[in-house]
Structure 1
Amino acid sequence: MRGITITYKYSGDETIWQSAMSDFISAIDNDPEIAGKFTYQVATADDKETRFHWGRWDSAETLKHVQSQEYFKTFAGRVKEFAGGVPSATGHDISHKTTGW
């Protein structure tokens, strides 16, 4: 399984940020093509400015599908705006994980 961790600082309007995150998560949840193949989580650090995003997917085809969707293009642009440029992004292979939440 592949993954990405994205980090940046954002201290702007929280309502706008929350709306963008909710819209993207909703689009993922409503895309039947990637059900069970792509997950995304977003968190705010205790400092209330540092933001973390974790994406996970099962194959290059799944990632290609997500990246080709308008909802992804819109979201990627918004994240760049929130980050004030290009956020830090680190790709990785998932080697171990728990079986549940």
Structure 2
Amino acid sequence: MRAITITYAYSGDETVWRTAIDAFVSALDADEKLDGRFSYQVAVADDKETRIHWGRWDTAETLAHVQSQPYFKDFADKIREFAGGAPTATGHDIVTKTGNW
């Protein structure tokens, strides 16, 4: 399973940020082609500014599908705005995990 961790600092309007996050997650949940093949989580660190996103997917085709959708382009643009440029993105392979997470 492939994954990405995205981090950036954001101290702007929480409502604007949360609306963008919720819209993206809703679009992912509504995308019938994904059906459990792509997951996304977002967290705010204890410092209240560092934002952490985790995406996980099963195949390169699944990732290509997500990246080809208008909702992805809109979200990626918003994240660059929130981050004040390109956020830090680290791709990785999942080696092991607990349960269904």
TM-score range, shorter chain: over 0.9
Structure 1, residues 56-93: CA drift from partner, whole Å, max 9, x if none? 00000000000000000000000000000000000000
Q: What's the TM-score once normalised by structure 1's chain length? A: 0.98
Q: What's the TM-score once normalised by structure 2's chain length? A: 0.98
Q: Specify the alignment match of 2:36 in structure 1.
A: 36
Q: Specify the alignment match of 1:25 in structure 2.
A: 25
Structure 1, residues 7-63: CA drift from partner, whole Å, max 9, x if none? 000000000000000000000000000111000000000110000000000000000
Q: Give the distance between the partners of 2:92 and 2:100, measured in 1 at CA.
A: 20
1:56 aligns to 2:56 (yes or no): yes
Partner SS for 2:33: helix
Query: 4+ residue stretches of structure 1 with deviation over 2 A?
Result: none
Gaps of 5+ in 2: none
RMSD of aligned Cα (Å): 0.7
Q: Give the distance between the partners of 1:100 and 1:80, measured in 2 at CA.
A: 30
State the AA in 2 paired with 1:79. Answer: I
Q: Give the distance between the partners of 1:100 and 1:39, measured in 2 at CA.
A: 11
Among the aligned pairs, what percent are the same residue?
Answer: 67
Gaps of 5+ in 1: none
Number of residue pairs matched? 101
Partner SS for 2:98: coil
